[in-house]
Amino acid sequence: QFGAAVAIQIINEKDQSRIFAIISDPAFNNNTGIVYAFEYSEKDQKWSAPQVIASDASEGDNFGASISAYGNALAIGAPNTGNPKVGKVYLFIYDSGNWIDQHAIFPVQASDLSFGSSISMHEDVMAVGSENFAYIYKVTSSSVSPIGAAVPCQSALVVANSDLVVASQMSANSPLITY
């Protein structure tokens, strides 16, 4: 499943811009999952060998099933983490040539499953979909906090911008619009 989720990310550092192609393979190594960051060299006009973005994912977690990038932040979903499969979102910050896991804790509903099945970030807003809810968070370099209550939504696919979050219910014909 190489390419199951992809993102392009441009990070502005001091006197240069770094361009990354983020590509996941959630089926890698018995569905443990892996995410690669390829950096484009404007000088050489080619893509670098990939940097592996590491996690503590285990077999079956599907790390990389969803990804979203904004600024120097990268969110990666592993919706099959845990038993039952409650799911997890990893938040990485790019700093001085490395992707650093922030070990962020995202508050979720106790009865929910497949958290991180979809993710969308814009500025300091992150929307996360799961089997039963759509969640909206404010994300800073030091914390993650919910913006309002989780919104009931079956198999939520989410997209966010600075003013709005749209969650598409897989079993309904009309989107849920909130924020």
For 12-42, the pLDDT digits (tens) are 888 788 899 999 999 999 999 999 999 998 8
pTM: 0.90
Q: What is the DSSP string of 96-161?
A: TTEEEE--------TT---BTSEEEEETTEEEEE-SSEEEEEEE-SS-EEESSPPEE-TT-EEEE-
Q: Which regions in the chain score pLDDT beneath 70?
A: 156, 161-179
